[in-house]
Amino acid sequence: MSAPSPVVAPSILAADFARLAEEARAVEGAADWLHVDVMDNHFVPNLTIGLPVVQSLRAATTIPFDVHLMIEDPRRWAPGYADAGAYNVTFHVEASDDPVSLAKDLRAAGAKAGLAIDRDTSIEPYLDLLPSFDTLLIMTIKAGFGGQKFLPAMLDKVAAARRHARAGHLELRIEVDGGIAEETIAQAAEAGADAFVAGTAVYSAQDPAEAVRKLRGIAARAMAEP
């Protein structure tokens, strides 16, 4: 089986919230997924956008949505994002008492199911849950704010998850989120990540679509190395 091609997901957290539709269209044709950070001012101190905004934005672009829920009580809210047409809905393991059952509900609602692991959470206790998920998001910063510095120590978790997925023949996208840029994406790819969220590196660029293509090129080369 050949390795899947890398997914690059620009995070609209770094976009201009007054022009979200335009900012989404600026990466159309280049981005694989659009990463949408939902924060509730409880699970994380920051507050961003919720379901009504995601519903409106869904109608404004063709890019599949990768919704990253940094919220408490995901069981209550996550299926709504699947119903709104999100391609992938990711919730945090730290916020969920029954991740496998919520993953089932998300899949039943037509979305891929994603599990997120924050900076201070180790991966080992959750490896056995991975067959129930399509994506695993490993934070390479502390969840809550964009523009933080990439933490290379988090790549040990990526490597452990990739080993586990390979050994179990799981079809699992491993996504890294936080501080991903031209300088950091290759090491994440080498550790076993194959989906890459990038906020600042895409939306602070002169040409966001070109920034996405450049990141994908670097990741693809790193993933192709033996």
In which region does residue 189 sit, left (phi positive, over 0), alpha (psi from -120 to 50) or beta (all else)? alpha
180 binding partner (options Zn ion, ligand DX5, none; Cβ < 5 to 8 Å by kind): ligand DX5
Q: Which does 99 bind (CB under 5 to 8 A by kind): ligand DX5, Zn ion, none?
A: none
Q: Confirm whether 37 is a catalytic residue.
A: yes
Are the C-beta atoms of 61 and 24 separated by less than 8 Å?
A: yes
Contact pick of 29, 45, 147, 152 for ligand DX5 (by CB under 6 A): 147
User: Is 177 an active-site residue?
Assistant: yes
The annotation status of 144 as a binding-site residue, yes or no, is yes
**47 DSSP assignment:** B
Helices (H), 34-173: 51-58, 74-83, 99-108, 155-167
Please list, in sequence order, all residues whose beta carbon lies within 8 angstroms of the beta carbon of residue 110, skipping any fewer than 6 positions away: 82
Which position has the token pair 């997925």? 165
Q: Establish if 10 lies at the interface with ligand DX5 (CB under 6 A).
A: no
Please tell me whether residue 208 binds ligand DX5 under the rule CB under 6 A.
no
Q: Which residues contact 2 (CB under 8 A, 6 or more apart)?
A: none
Rule CB under 6 A: is residue 216 a binding residue for ligand DX5?
no
Indicate whether 40 belongs to the interface with ligand DX5 (CB under 6 A).
no
**Which of the following is catalytic: 66, 134, 177, 194?**
177
The entry of Zn ion, ligand DX5, none near residue 146 (CB within 5 to 8 angstroms by kind) is ligand DX5
Do the Cβ atoms of 75 and 94 come closer than 8 Å? no
Q: By the criterion CB under 6 A, which residues form the site for ligand DX5?
A: 11, 13-14, 35, 37, 68, 141, 143-148, 177-180, 197-201
Catalytic residues: 37, 177
